[in-house]
């Protein structure tokens, strides 16, 4: 294996494009023709590479490591990929808590906005991204193979503070769990959007609809290499950077989009159907209802958002000067624009401004000016998109509550991988539409689950069977296990060829396994668990050479 290492000791943030200002109530009649500026995020730092990472065409596996000290995420941009069908690219972090697989069909999903046809895989959180080009058995490398990395982008967390008139009163979403579970649970439907621009997005209703601003995601080119981060929230209230359960979902296609002027700055789009369906996006994270009524001055609001000038775990703005933040006035006589005093920051563009009473969306956050922040009024937004969203699907859908996530990389058919550990006694249950068969018993056995797998090379959807086993002091048993164990509980995942006789030996697949997790003590639904699987299948994976180049 050829291994190249690139390291940087730091990154320099760029200038802030525009700041969000905190509004305070004014006694004077507001100037309604000053709409302000969109709450755009700070651009990432772009670092050029400009090389074919395949330096030795005899190698069946070539690896590249990119490390930028202090970076919160790294996103790669490839301008040319020429590989034989059957070869694939793996992107991961060093601990393999994130692993993403891409084949030739993915390489066709390009974005022309960068001045060339660019393919960009899902970003890697943290300082280090690993790229591996794999030629499985039966696929021969050639001198014409090219994987040309044009450049990569890095971002820091919390690059700037833009609250000017007063104190930033936003707090991590998790802190509302004990105060008002309505705010916490409804905010699950809001996600970080890394698409054409960086902003915030949210799920609409009970079908595959997502909403944000047009200046965040207005074209299919923007979506082609984008990603949506659900569950990008702090795990504990005292540490807002403790984000261990992010779920990254591919966007799909634009359904309809307005213009980038303030009142029509909206974009309705769908998520990738495979991810949406198999990751149980609506069941786990919920969806929001767009209110069809006009707002009133004094209506109280709260805004779940991901803005801070850099990438930021979700916070909620619900107060201003110790009181509930609220609608201050309207931008125009028709009330198409709603002005409010909830705190926002660069990166908040596209957030939902929700009613503190009904939890319905009252405005689509757009921008700010010196005396207030502003969003597209929900009644006007609904009028623009209602022909694309059936009225009976525009409903509030509560998420499951706390969602835990795990990544499982399976290069071996014989080893069971521990997907997640729980300190407390828990039991597991599948969703209603999943095919599960229990073998053995609760203390000595396993369960099989048939899920959809996406063939990385062909893009075909194939059935894949995995074995799930619950491990505790009572033994290793099937999903029916309920054990009073002082040592906690683990859920293990394994892949067996004997369970998958119809799958080709050289296939690489990605899958999702969603589960419900219940507290064994009283049986209440404690968590949702979402396991993503990258299965490179051992018979199709070459033995890696150990050559290392660079340091």
The three-state secondary structure class of 354 is strand
The DSSP output letter for 349 is T
The closest of 42, 34, 44, 16 to 368, measured between CA atoms, is 34
Q: What is the CATH number of domain 171-393?
A: 2.40.10.120
Return the pLDDT at 446.
95
Return the pLDDT at 111.
67
C-alpha–C-alpha distance, residues 183 and 310, integer Å: 24
Return the pLDDT at 537.
61
**What's the per-residue H, E or C state across 431-483?**
CCCCEEEEEECCCEEEEEEEEEEEECCCCCEEEEEEEEEEEECCEEECCCCCC
Return the pLDDT at 407.
92
- CB neighbours of residue 255 within 10 Å: 16
Return the pLDDT at 474.
87
Radius of gyration (C-alpha) of the chain in whole angstroms: 24
In angstroms, the Cα distances linking 459 to 279, 325, 378, 491, 542 are 17, 47, 38, 29, 21
Bridge partner list, 8: 68
| Structure token pair of residue 486 | 């002082």
Residues of the chain with CATH 2.40.10.120: 171-393
The three-state secondary structure class of 403 is strand
The closest of 475, 470, 473, 484 to 515, measured between CA atoms, is 470
Return the pLDDT at 110.
67
The closest of 393, 327, 390 to 362, measured between CA atoms, is 327
End-to-end C-alpha distance for the chain, whole angstroms? 15
Query: What's the fold here for domain 403-540?
Result: Immunoglobulin-like (2.60.40)
Q: What is the CATH number of domain 2-21+43-155?
A: 2.60.120.290
The DSSP output letter for 30 is P
The closest of 259, 294, 298, 302 to 379, measured between CA atoms, is 294
The closest of 146, 154, 156 to 50, measured between CA atoms, is 146
Structure confidence by residue, pLDDT tens digits, 174-206? 999 888 778 999 999 999 999 877 899 999 999
Residues of the chain with CATH 2.60.40.2520: 403-540
Beta-carbon contacts of 214 under 8 Å, excluding residues fewer than 6 positions away, are 257, 258, 259, 260, 264, 265, 266, 267
Residues of the chain with CATH 2.60.120.290: 2-21+43-155
Q: Which residues of the chain have pLDDT under 70?
A: 1-43, 110-116, 157-166, 239-241, 309-310, 412-415, 485-486, 537-551
């Amino acid at each position: 294996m050829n291994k190249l290492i690139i390291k940087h000791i730091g990154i320099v943030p760029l200038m802030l494009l525009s700041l969000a200002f905190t509004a305070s109530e004014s006694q004077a009649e507001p100037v309604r023709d000053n709409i302000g500026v969109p709450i755009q995020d700070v651009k990432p730092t772009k670092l050029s590479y400009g090389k074919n990472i395949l330096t030795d065409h005899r190698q069946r596996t070539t690896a590249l490591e990119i490390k930028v000290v202090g970076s919160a995420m790294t996103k790669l941009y490839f301008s040319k990929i020429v590989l034989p069908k059957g070869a694939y690219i793996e992107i991961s972090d060093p601990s393999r808590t994130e692993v993403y697989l891409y084949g030739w069909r993915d390489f066709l999903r390009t974005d022309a906005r960068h001045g060339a046809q660019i393919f960009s895989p899902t970003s890697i959180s943290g300082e280090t991204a690993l790229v591996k080009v794999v030629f499985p058995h039966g696929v021969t490398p050639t001198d014409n193979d090219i994987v040309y990395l044009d450049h990569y982008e890095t971002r820091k967390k919390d690059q700037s503070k833009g609250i000017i008139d007063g104190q930033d009163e936003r707090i991590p979403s998790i802190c509302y769990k004990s105060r008002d579970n309505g705010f916490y649970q409804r905010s699950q439907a809001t996600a970080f959007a890394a698409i054409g621009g960086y902003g915030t997005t949210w799920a609409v209703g009970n079908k595959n609809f997502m909403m944000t601003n047009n200046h965040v995601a207005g074209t299919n080119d923007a979506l082609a290499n984008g990603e949506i981060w659900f569950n990008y929230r702090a795990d504990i209230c005292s540490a807002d950077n403790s984000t261990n359960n992010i779920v990254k979902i591919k966007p799909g296609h634009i359904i309809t989009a307005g213009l980038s002027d303030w009142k029509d700055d909206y974009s309705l789009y769908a998520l990738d159907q495979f991810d949406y369906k198999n990751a149980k996006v609506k069941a786990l994270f919920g969806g929001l209802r767009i209110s069809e009524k006009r707002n009133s001055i004094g209506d109280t609001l709260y805004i779940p958002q991901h803005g801070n000038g850099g990438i930021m775990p979700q916070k909620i703005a619900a107060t201003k000067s110790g009181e509930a933040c609220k609608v201050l006035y309207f931008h125009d006589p028709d009330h198409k624009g709603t002005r409010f005093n909830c705190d926002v920051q660069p990166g908040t563009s596209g957030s939902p401004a929700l009613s503190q009473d009904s939890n319905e969306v009252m405005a689509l956050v757009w921008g700010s000016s010196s005396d207030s922040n502003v969003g597209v009024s929900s009644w006007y937004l609904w009028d623009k998109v209602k022909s694309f969203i059936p009225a009976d699907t525009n409903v509030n859908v509560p998420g499951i509550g706390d969602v835990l996530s795990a990544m499982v990389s399976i290069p071996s058919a014989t080893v069971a991988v521990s997907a997640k550990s729980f300190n407390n006694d828990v039991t597991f249950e599948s969703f209603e539409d999943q095919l599960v068969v229990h073998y053995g018993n609760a203390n000595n056995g396993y369960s099989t689950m048939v899920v959809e797998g996406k063939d990385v090379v062909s893009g075909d959807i194939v059935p894949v069977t995995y074995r799930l086993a619950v491990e505790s002091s009572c033994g290793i048993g099937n999903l029916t296990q309920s054990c009073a164990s002082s040592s906690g509980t683990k859920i293990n995942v394994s892949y067996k060829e004997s369970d998958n006789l119809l799958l080709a030996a050289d296939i690489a697949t990605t899958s999702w396994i969603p589960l419900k997790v219940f507290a064994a003590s009283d049986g209440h639904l404690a968590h949702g668990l979402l396991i993503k699987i990258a299965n490179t299948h051992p018979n199709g994976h070459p033995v890696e050479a150990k050559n290392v180049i660079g340091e």
